[in-house]
Amino acid sequence: MRWLRSYNASSLAGDATAGLIVTVMLIPQSLAYAMLAGLPPQAGLYASILPLVAYAALGSSTTLAVGPVAVISLMTAAALAPLAPAGSPEYAAAAVLLAFLSGLFLLAFAALRLGFIAQFLSHPVIAGFISGSAILIVLGQLKHVVGNAPTTAIGLGTIAFLAAARAWVPGLAGKLAPMAAIIVATALTTLFGFDVKVVGSVPQGLPRLVLPETKWLAELWMPALLISLVGFVESVSVARSLGARRGERIAPNRELAGLGAANVASALSGGFPVTGGFARSVVNFDAGARTPLAGVISAALMALALAGLTGLLHSLPHAVLAATIIIAVSSLIDWHALRETWRYDRADAAAFLATTAGVLALGVERGVLAGVAISLGMIVWRASRPHIAVLGRVPGTEHFRNVKRHTVETRPELLVVRVDESLFFANAAAVREEVERLAAAEPPLQRVLLVLSAVNHIDATALAMLDELERELAARGVSLCLAEVKGPVMDRLARTELGARMKERVYLSTHQAFQA
């Protein structure tokens, strides 16, 4: 909370404006995402007060807007659906426990300094997961915007209005469209008494503090873990991309703490899992938020709304909320990122599509696991394919370059191979096979020179590989030599049997080895 000690009046104008505009977005979104999560509207409002204050106290981003978000609400619905009927008191109690457990996981990760785990999901996998979830959400909401004639009219009318506002009203003014739609639709429904499903009575007043019931602990710890992982990864990437715009560093472990506290606060207020949302955070940034005080101001305004205005929500049609969700999440289906990724890196685009397909085929929970598995698979795949270059001498110099890219001199009795990665068990076999393949193709070969300029470590498996490779080549009359072995690598190597055997065949530079 360093920002609080150096707070000045010039920041207040920006924070207050941003806080107000975010609140105007947050009211419809919190009602809509509560509906998406299968919870009564007040749960969404409750999840939008204390969590914002908790994040402001512990988080590291100055602009992240915390609260209910679409993907986490979908995951909440998926986790709770098997346990109790949506809308029942048991269901709401389970949502509280889910938020509480997510918060505990996040706080535990913060204590264990596991902030680095966010990096083990690739961006395309995250984008693919969010796109797949968004498609599931749109499909799930369609039933709320079509029905009897008035429902369909209000639903499709609101979608048309919101889409038009998004297309033609640039900047912050366009962000107020959902609130405008709510006000107009509620007023018309109150006046004309349309035959549509409405929000109904929302209890007035601030949330009472509740303690989570532990009844469904066994069923909910796993979904809570997945929700905390997805919430953290999504939130950190939003915080990072906004932070980059103003030279602000995001500390992953403080983000874990901030989001953990926010979820515990949401649980205690009778809410459901929350995290940092993309759209509201961008608005917060664009509206001029300077410090986390903007979030505190939003929280205060939400509390005022809960204390006084809930009566006005009675005749708000569900179709309007569903239309709000559909328009909000349709921008999460990230065609642009997919197209860009496709142009830039086909493998990444394939991971994107595979994750989206995984979410659509397996559902949102197993979709996360599919995404994690795809990301792990990509790490392992990459680790097993080291970059290996055959080198030759640039004529008249002491420089050695890849024979594929440069005009260089080679000698038929000498094969010079550079491995551009540290040697360890996942790439040891690939290195050995490539060297064997290269060596087999050169009949008059007498020496293979391994250039280890890019090798910072050789693990025990790779050491055994080198040992076997040396023996195998020796049995075929070819001697294995080393060059440019880094100091720490040489120190370790010298202590081994292989190091002792090769002592006379380790050269300082590739050039020296080439001369010898």
The footprint of its own copies (CB under 8 A) covers 116, 118-124, 240-241, 243-249, 252, 340-341, 343-345, 347-348, 375-376, 378-380, 382-384, 387, 405, 420-422, 424-430, 436, 440, 454, 456, 459-461, 463-464, 467-469, 471-476, 487, 492, 495-496
CB of 332: closest distance to its own copies in angstroms?
17
Nearer to its own copies, 123 or 254 (CB): 123
User: What's the token pair of residue 61?
Assistant: 């981003």
Residue with Cβ nearer its own copies (83 or 493)? 493
Rounded to the nearest whole angstrom, what is the least distance from the CB of residue 412 to its own copies in the complex?
Answer: 20
506 token code pair:
């380790």
Nearer to its own copies, 143 or 382 (CB): 382
For the bound state, the minimum distance from the C-beta of residue 382 to its own copies, rounded and expressed in Å, comes to: 6
Least separation in angstroms between CB 407 and its own copies: 14
Q: Is the dihedral of CA 455, 461, 464, 470 positive or negative?
A: negative
CA atoms within 13 A on the CB side of 267: 23
Supply the minimum distance, in Å, between the C-beta of residue 127 and its own copies: 9
| Nearest to 427, CA basis, from 390, 461, 378, 451 | 461
Q: Let me know how many helices (H) and strands (E) the chain has, helices first.
A: 22, 8
Between the CA atoms of 427, 432, 434 and 438, what dihedral angle is there, to the nearest 10 degrees? 160
Q: Decide whether 327 or 426 has the Cβ nearer to its own copies.
A: 426
Dihedral, CA of residue 306, residue 308, residue 311 and residue 313, to nearest 10: -50
CA–CA distance, 475 with 469 (Å, rounded to integer) = 10
What is the smallest separation between the CB atom of 476 and its own copies, expressed in angstroms?
A: 4
Q: Pairing state of beta strands 400-402 and 388-393?
A: antiparallel
For the CB of residue 387, give the shortest distance to its own copies in the complex, in Å: 5
Three-class secondary structure of residue 415 per DSSP: strand
Least CB distance to its own copies at residue 145 (A): 34
Q: Which is nearer to its own copies, 113 or 208 (CB)?
A: 113
- To its own copies, the closest distance from the beta carbon of 102 in angstroms equals 22
Name the residue nearer to its own copies (CB basis): 297 or 338: 338
- In angstroms, the Cα distances linking 244 to 234, 240, 396 are 16, 6, 47
Between 300 and 494, CB nearer to its own copies:
494
Alpha helices in 309-424, H assignment, sequence order: 318-330, 335-344, 346-362, 364-383
Helix residue ranges per DSSP H, 123-208:
123-145, 149-168, 177-192
Q: Which of 494, 488, 492, 485 is nearest to 512 (CA)?
A: 485
Q: Provide the greatest CA pair distance for the chain.
A: 97
Least distance from its own copies to the Cβ atom of residue 174, Å: 24
Question: Among residues 266 and 284, whose Cβ is nearest to its own copies?
Answer: 284
The interaxial angle of helices 364-383 and 346-362, nearest 10 deg, is 150
3-state helix, strand, coil in the chain (%, to 5): 65, 10, 25
Q: How far is the CB of 478 from its own copies (least distance, A)?
A: 9
User: In the complex, what is the shortest distance from the CB of residue 323 to its own copies, in angstroms, rounded to a whole number?
Assistant: 32
Cα end-to-end span (Å), the chain: 64
Alpha helices in 81-114 (DSSP H): 89-111
Say how far apart CA 240 and CA 234 lie, in whole Å: 10
Return all residues near 210 (Cβ < 8 A) that are at least 6 apart: 96, 267, 268, 269, 270
Between 170 and 477, name the residue whose CB sits nearer to its own copies.
Answer: 477
288 Cα distance to chain centroid = 25
Q: Per the structure block, which two tokens stand in for 371? A: 């995404």
Whether 26 contacts 66, CB under 8 Å: no
**Cβ closest to its own copies, residue 304 vs residue 508:** 508
Q: CA-to-CA distance for 142 and 156, rounded, in angstroms?
A: 10
Residue 132 or 150 with smaller CB distance to its own copies: 132
Specify the pairing of strand 479-483 against strand 506-507.
parallel
State the nearest-atom distance from the C-beta of 252 to its own copies, in Å: 8
CB-wise, 78 or 229, nearer to its own copies?
229
Select 34 or 118, whichever has its Cβ closest to its own copies: 118
